[in-house]
Amino acid sequence: MLEPHAIETYIDKPVTEVYRFLASPWNYPRWAAINAATFRQIGPLEWAGDTEFGPRIVRFSPPNGEGILDHAVYKAGEEPVMMPLRVTADGNRTLVTFVFYRRPGMDDEQLASALEWIRTDFTALKSLLEV
**Mapped to the 3 state alphabet, what secondary structure does 22-78 carry?**
HHCHHHHHHHCCCCHHHCEECCCCEEEEEECCEEEEEEECCCCCCCECCEEEECCCC
Q: What pLDDT is recorded for position 83?
A: 94
- Cα–Cα dist 101/33, whole Å: 18
Q: What pLDDT is recorded for position 1?
A: 76
Q: What pLDDT is recorded for position 14?
A: 97
CB 7 within 8 A of CB 119: yes
Give pLDDT < 50 ranges for the chain.
none
- Quote the pTM value: 0.92
Q: What pLDDT is recorded for position 87?
A: 98
Beta pairing partners, 22: none
